[in-house]
Every structure is written in C-alpha cells, then in structure tokens.
Amino acid sequence: MRSFGRFALVLAAFLALVAWGASELFNRQAFAWAERDLAMRARFALEGARPALAGASPAEARRVLDALVLDERLMAASLCLPDGATLVRTFGYPAGFACGRLPPEALSAAAAGWDRTAEGTSGTVHVTALPVGGAADRRVLVLVHDMSFVDRRAETTRLYTFVAFALVGLVGAVAAAAAARLSWISWTTQLRRMITAPFRAAGQFTTPRRFQPLVADVRDLLATLAAEDAKAGATWTPERLRHVLRRNLGGEGVIVVANREPYIHERGADGTIHVTRPASGLVTALEPVMRACSGTWIAHGSGSADRETVDRRDHVRVPPGQEAYDLRRVWLSREEEQGFYYGLSNEGLWPLCHMVHARPEFRSRDWETYRRVNARFAETVAEEADGPDPIVLVQDYHFALLPRYLRERLPRATIITFWHIPWPTAERFGICPWEREVLEGLLGSTVVGFHTQAHCNNFLESVDRFLESRIDRERHSVVVGGRETLVRPYPISVEWPSHWAAETAPAAECRAEVRRQLGLAPDVLLGVGVDRLDYTKGIEERLLAVELLLERHPAWRGRFTFVQLAAPSRTVIPAYRELNDRVAALATRVNDRFARDGWLPIVLLRRHHEPPAIFRMYRAADLCYVSSLHDGMNLVAKEFVAARDDLRGVLVLSRFTGAARELSEALIVNPYDVEAAATALATALSMPPEEQEDRMRAMRAMLSELNVYRWAGKMLLDATRTRRKDRLATRLSPGPGAAP
C-alpha cells in the first residue's frame, strides 16, 4: 500500500505541473486573442461613430463618445489632437491615458492606428488610438477597453484545467492501480501455481522466462532439502532425525495420534499398578521415533489404571523412568470403543484391507461412532497444538476421517497420515459403503504413506474411481479441490540398533535359558513364531506346516520344537475368539500326534510377552517363521533380524508381507502352500552356519539403513517440502492488504 501511495503522489505532482503549463499556454493565447479582438472592436466602433463625429461640436462629440462607452467592455473614450490637447472625454476617463500622456506616435493623425495593453489603476486595459480621418480632421479617437474580463476568464480557465486534469489523474491513477493489482495477482497466481502445483506431466509445463530466477531459488531451497535427504551413505539415527526436525521444522515437537497407547497402566490382582507395552507393530515403530522427536502422543486410555496415572490435563510423561515425551489420553465409553474400535475399525476396515477371505461387517451405527470419535480426536489434537501449523502424525485405519476434520480446524497444519495395513484394490475397496468419505478424510493430509508402492497404486486407483480428482503418477500425488496430497511408500521398520537387542543377553545364554524354561534337550532345534492372535497372521497355516514337516521328515521328530508366542487380541470379536479356539485345537492335535518322551512339537504360549522375553526368544531360536496371509509390513521379521547379532538363525517369511520385498535373503514362502512351507522349514533347519551368516549379514546391513528413523525422516522431509511451498504460496497469495 505504501508504494501505491508514492505512485499516486508522483502522478498527482506530474499532473499538477502539466495542468499549470497547459493553463498558462491557453491563457497567453486567449490574451492575444482578446487584444486582437479589442483592437478590431475599436476600429468597428470608430467606423460606426465616424459619420456622427464628422463636423461635430465638442458637445455633440461628447454625446457620441458617451454612446460608445455604453458598450460594457469600453471603459472610456476621448478625442485628442496631435499636440496632446484633449477635445472631449467621457466621464471617469483614466488620467494615466490622458491625451497629453500618450506618446506622439499614438496621436499622429497620419498613423494607421496605435494599440497598447497596459496596467491601469483598476486592472489591465487595452488602449487604441485611431485617427478619426477626413481631409482636414486631425482628431484622434482614443478608446480605453477594460481587459479585466480576460483575467477573470484566465482564472476560470485555470480552475477548469486543474479540475479536468485532477479528474483525468484520478481516473488514470485508479486505472493504473487496478492494472498493477491485476498484473500482481496474475503474476503471483502464476508463480504460486508453479510452486504449489508442479503436478503436470513433464513437458506440459514450461517456466516463463520472468519466473525462472525465482523458481530457481525455490528449487535451490528444495534441493538443499533433497541433499539433506540423500546425504551419501548417511545412516538415519535418532540424532539425524532430531536434526531434521530442528533444521527443517524449527525443532517443533510432533503430535502423534494413534488408537493404541505406548504405555498402559494396569492394576494387577495384588492391587499394584504396573506398566505394559502393547503387542502392536505400530507402537513398536513409533515409540523410538517419539523418544527421538519428543512431543505428544494422543491415544485412547484403555488401561485399568490409566485414569489414576494422568494429571489434570489427562497427560502423563513417558517412558516411565526415562521421560521424553507426553502421553495424552482420550477416554472412550464402552459403546464408543465397541463402535469405533471393534466395530468399524476391526470388523469393517481391517478385513476390508486384508486378503484373508474374512467378510467385512459394516454397520451404520458403527460408522456414526467412528465419525464421532475421529472428530473428538481431531479436537484433542487442536487442543494440544502449540500454534496454527503443528506437525501431526496420524496413525492407521482407526483415523481415516481425522485428517480432514483437522484440516478444517487447522488449515495450515502439516498432517502426515500413515496407513499401517495394506490398501485393497479399488474393486474391493468399493465394498465399503462410505468409500468417498474415507478417501476424502484421508486426503485432508499433506502426506499419505503406505508400506509399499503396490498399496499406493491401489489407493490411487480407488481415488481415481470414486472421487473427482487429478492424479499425478509421476509426483505420486492427488489433487482434490485444489489441495495436493502426496501418496508415497515409506516402508516402516524397527529402531537400529535395537535397544532391546542391546539389553538382551548373548545368544548362547538365551539358548540355554529358553531351553531350560521349556524343558528342551540340548540337541533340539527351536523354531519361533511371535504374533498377535490374528487371522491375518496365518498361525494355523504355520502350525500345519510344522505338522507336515514332522510327517515328511521323521528325523525331526524329537529334535525340533516350534514355540508360538500369541498375544490375545480383539477377543471381543467372535472371529478372533474362534481363531483362538482353532489354534489351540490345532496345536493340541499336532502334539497328540507326535509328542513323545516329554518332547512336544508345538509350545503354544497364549499371552502377552514383554519385549525382553520376546528378544530372548528370537536369540534362542534357530528359525523364525512369519507366515502372514497378508501383512502391511510385519515387524516381527525385522525384529528377529535385529536381534541376531550372532549372525545365526534363519528367517522363513511369507511373500504376502511388505517385509518380503526388503528381506529377500529370507526363505520366502507362500504360507497357503503348506507343502512348500514345510520344505522351507526343513531347509532352514539344515542350513549350514556359513549360509545362515551370509544371509543374516545381508539382511542386517539392509536393516541398518532402512530403519525406523529413516521411515520417519523421509516422511518429515517430504512434508517439509510441502510445508515450505505452502508457506511461500501463502506469502505470495493476493489476500487482503497484499502489496503490489
């Protein structure tokens, strides 16, 4: 606005100068016209009066002169003789122009006439002296015209000229300002479009020359971030993640929203409160990230002593004893938990997204509860946010609607949503009765992440099929309603190095201890499975493979035991209770079939285990079998590799896990093909130590690079780029008060 003021002032000064010059020019011209006009009038007056003046006595001549001065412009008249004598003059004739004071050339009867403009006592006058004429007539008629009308006309002219120029100036200034404004808007709009929407296919968009320097600057900025991202060989560590937050996100803490809390306070049978860590891949991955980043983790407070351990704002600092971040608990009623968690999330979306032939159940009352709970969590995030643009990490299928709700409340928030489970094909996704709402909800995010490119592709196909949108497959983004959401793969992982592995005893000790615990003979090899009791994990297929191994390879009877750690999960849902019963019955059947002399082929431990016990089991085992029928990633496979710093042990891994794409040195199997799986178990059990080491070394090298800090760091860097672009675009946006 300041520069517009300056522009208007300069324009006004320029126009005033032009107006003054123009009026001066015009007045000078008008004055000359007036002089010529009066000289002519004087001659016409003489022509008219000459007959009356011919031979007139002084009294008669006076009457003629009096008649002449009736003309409003003619002030006075006199008749002079060439010697300067006055014959007659009208009343009030100005003394300054008396006959005696006129120059001799004015009174020369022979002259053709004499004209002068002069300053009289009452203003400018025009004096004309004309010989009356005739053979013996030596009289000269002197006429004094009043020229004040010329001054008055000049004043008026000046005034009109100024008014006219002022109006022209005003209209010009408004037009110029409007043109400047329009061109600013079009300039910034084009620039913004270039910065915020570079989502056209290559070649479709060329940067106009005038924008090239600016766009180059923006690209430099983004390249700096990319360089940060691609630091040659740099491994992601908690420090590097913190550095990214500090450097690119101003050190802001993050807000995580997840249904599951990382620490649950439970009151035991003895009345004391103890803390447990849930059996959840999400928690396994996110917890080290939060320890590195700090901030707030918002989750459903589900423990029996959770309410007793929070402060007045429902906060508790965690991890206990090594406090690094806040846990904010949200309370759900039993009905809410039923509709939101068990109903829509786990009976609807979970089977919808997994190819496990389980029928998704969608009930509209569950959907209503799901919406309500998502809105409540969005409200909680807004409460926890320090400013208008927090960094929020939304976790999983429990919160598909939250990104949009949050975007409505905090339009400038950076929302990174990670979907921990697979995304189904568009065809299958169409089973969901609220497919549009789910997609629109997720697209409130800045970034939507999946484990694999295949899940991203399925998501983009679903968006394409169900929403009015623009999909840029090169940039991996979706634009809906002018907002861009990046849709990219970020394979999740575990911390590296694993602090649980570091705290676990060496492999030999673990082997000895576990064998003692399970009562296994020293020559018995050990297989391990670690899962939540979930029908997607293929636990039945796993036990069937063990059964078939013993059937086809009798040499392993009495020499191989498979331990299954199975954490009860979602037991409110009938399908999970039925699975629990089936798994137990199957283990019993196999044991009944092959058990001998105190040896059991299958040890089923259906309870929650804390990480130290799980890591001890990983280290004690000769093989780990992950047989998921469909799994987003599967962190058990990665934990097993992280635990094996002795480079021993074989991983047998289902090809239907995301992990199989990275851990290619595992023995990859189709868990439905029980024959092939049994053969893979036999191969694992007889694999030479050197081959085990080679495979394990390669997998550990991969894991040390692709760890969970990289997962979080990559997402934060992608979000940072968008955040910077958005901030730049906001600054350029032609909002109210924006200056040209």
Q: Compute the Cα dihedral for 46, 52, 56, 62 and give only its sign.
A: negative
Q: How far is the CB of 515 from ligand ADQ (least distance, A)?
A: 20
**Is-contact 197 189, C-beta < 8 A?**
no
Q: How far is the CB of 665 from ligand ADQ (least distance, A)?
A: 19
CA dist 447 and 454 (Å) reads 17
Q: How far is the CB of 453 from ligand ADQ (least distance, A)?
A: 16
How many residues does this entry show for the chain? 740
Q: Please, which residue, 130 or 283, has the CB nearer to ligand ADQ? A: 283
Q: Please, which residue, 139 or 532, has the CB nearer to ligand ADQ? A: 532
Q: Please, which residue, 389 or 639, has the CB nearer to ligand ADQ? A: 639
State how far the alpha carbon of 64 is from the alpha carbons of 68, 146, 429, in Å. Answer: 6, 19, 115
Q: How many CB atoms lie within 10 A of CB 335?
A: 11
102 has which bridge partners?
none
Residue of minimal CB distance from ligand ADQ? 281
Q: Please, which residue, 252 or 396, has the CB nearer to ligand ADQ? A: 396
- DSSP-derived letter for residue 101 is G
Q: Please, which residue, 128 or 504, has the CB nearer to ligand ADQ? A: 504
CA dist 101 and 605 (Å) reads 139
Residues that bind ligand ADQ (CB under 6 A): 279-282, 284-285, 420-421, 492, 530-532, 565-567, 608-609, 614, 631-636, 639
Q: How far is the CB of 349 from ligand ADQ (least distance, A)?
A: 12
Q: How far is the CB of 269 from ligand ADQ (least distance, A)?
A: 19
Q: How far is the CB of 565 from ligand ADQ (least distance, A)?
A: 4
**Is-contact 126 145, C-beta < 8 A?**
yes
Q: Please, which residue, 335 or 503, has the CB nearer to ligand ADQ? A: 503
Q: Please, which residue, 129 or 241, has the CB nearer to ligand ADQ? A: 241
Residue with tokens 């939304």: 394
Q: How far is the CB of 284 from ligand ADQ (least distance, A)?
A: 3
Closest CA to 666 of 630, 635, 641, 643: 641
CA dist 264 and 273 (Å) reads 10
Tell me the HSE value of 322 on the side-chain side, using a 13 A CA sphere. Answer: 8
Q: How far is the CB of 594 from ligand ADQ (least distance, A)?
A: 24
Q: Please, which residue, 551 or 645, has the CB nearer to ligand ADQ? A: 645
Q: Please, which residue, 336 or 631, has the CB nearer to ligand ADQ? A: 631
Tell me the HSE value of 475 on the side-chain side, using a 13 A CA sphere. Answer: 20
Closest CA to 414 of 386, 389, 439: 389
Q: How many CB atoms lie within 10 A of CB 254?
A: 23
Q: How many CB atoms lie within 10 A of CB 569?
A: 19
Q: How far is the CB of 566 from ligand ADQ (least distance, A)?
A: 6
Q: How far is the CB of 555 from ligand ADQ (least distance, A)?
A: 30
Q: Please, which residue, 192 or 630, has the CB nearer to ligand ADQ? A: 630
Q: Please, which residue, 244 or 282, has the CB nearer to ligand ADQ? A: 282
Q: How far is the CB of 715 from ligand ADQ (least distance, A)?
A: 13
CA dist 540 and 553 (Å) reads 20
CA dist 55 and 389 (Å) reads 108
CA dist 663 and 702 (Å) reads 8
Q: How far is the CB of 429 from ligand ADQ (least distance, A)?
A: 17
CA dist 718 and 391 (Å) reads 12
Q: Please give the single-letter amino acid code of residue 256.
A: V
**Is-contact 293 435, C-beta < 8 A?**
no
* 417 phi/psi in degrees, rounded to 5: -110, 130
Q: Please, which residue, 61 or 567, has the CB nearer to ligand ADQ? A: 567
**Is-contact 680 652, C-beta < 8 A?**
yes
**Is-contact 262 322, C-beta < 8 A?**
no
